[in-house]
Amino acid sequence: MKVDGRPDIFLDLRARALGVKPSDLNLNFLPPDAAYGALMDLNINGAHASVVGFSNGEASIYLSSGGGFIGGGQRAAVSSAAKAFVTAASNIRSQLKPVSRFHLPNDGITSFYVITPEAVLFGEEWDDQLTSGNSPFRPLFSAGQDVISAYRTLPITP
């Protein structure tokens, strides 16, 4: 997808995150079903935010409206939140299905992708179910929100 003749950076960064291989993170000898990455897509009034975390502590937030946050894994709070996000993703793997296309969620839905050496797994849930706590995806949603909160605690540097 292009915007005004330029590549859509948001979609490119999101696609790259979903395509990260264990070797890109210096993770060797992972079992085929081991989760090493998680991505949560939020639809906020028609704009999207992708929250990404990896088991090595790397984390990013990409915004479809432009901008985002990259490189927070060097900070303890973000690294810890990213690792917890992947752990939560690992715990819900059995409720997800393998996919090869990575669509963005419609309004009122949050989507989740779990990255393993064998496949990228997918699930989605209505936002009201996530916020009411009546969803098996609630722990994963909360862990993704914790990545956002960890970034918010970082000092702003010009």
**For residues 26 and 123, which has the higher predicted lDDT (pLDDT)?**
123
Is the pLDDT score of 27 beyond 90? no
Question: How many domains is the chain partitioned into structurally?
Answer: 1
- Range name among 1-10, 52-61, 71-80 with the lowest pLDDT average: 1-10
Is 38 contained in some domain?
yes
Is 52 contained in some domain?
yes
What's the average model confidence in pLDDT over 23-34? Answer: 85
Mean pLDDT of the chain: 89
Is 36 contained in some domain?
yes
Three-state secondary structure call for residue 61: strand
What's the average model confidence in pLDDT over 84-110? Answer: 94
Full-model pTM: 0.90
Is the pLDDT score of 4 beyond 80? no
pLDDT band at residue 1 using 50, 70 and 90 as cut-offs: very low
Domain of residue 18 covers: 2-152
Three-state secondary structure call for residue 118: coil
Q: What is the pLDDT of residue 6?
A: 41
Residues 131 and 119: their CA atoms lie apart, in Å, by: 28
Is 157 contained in some domain?
no
Is 158 contained in some domain?
no
